[in-house]
Amino acid sequence: MISKTEQAQKISNAIKKLRSEVDWNQARLAQEAGISGAALSKIEKGGERIPTIVVLRKLSAALKVPLHEITGEDFAETSETDVRSREFYRKWDVLDDLSVEDQDRLRDMAVRLKEITPKE
């Protein structure tokens, strides 16, 4: 069984890695997750305190990753489509900043593109 310190460090490392993948500083992630910068700093330092499930869920939502990617828990196999979808949303989260009409246009274009793309 993993110790609290090891679990806290695992979570810390995962958050730092995921945060760097989206090219955010601590302040940006804290803002996106709705937690204080001080709280995020403590989490990323590791130690003996493990963040609450509420905080972990806020971080996973902000980073657009499933909770198990932060906690390091084993999870059932993820399909290639799920992985590609997550990568798409992680990379293109700016789409949320578009107007509803523009988002609808892009969805329609994606549906049409999917219809004409040959199946593997």
Confidence bin at 108 (pLDDT 50/70/90): confident
CATH topology of domain 4-71: 434 Repressor (Amino-terminal Domain) (1.10.260)
Residues 37 and 27: their CA atoms lie apart, in Å, by 6
In the predicted structure, residue 115 carries a pLDDT above the cut 70: yes
Type of residue found at 49: R
CB 39 within 8 A of CB 30: yes
Q: Is the pTM of this model over 0.75?
A: no
Q: What is the longest distance spanned by two Cα atoms in the chain? A: 53
Average pLDDT, the chain: 85
Judge residue 44's burial from the number of C-beta atoms within 10 Å of its C-beta, 0-12 exposed, 13-18 middle, 19 or more buried. Answer: middle
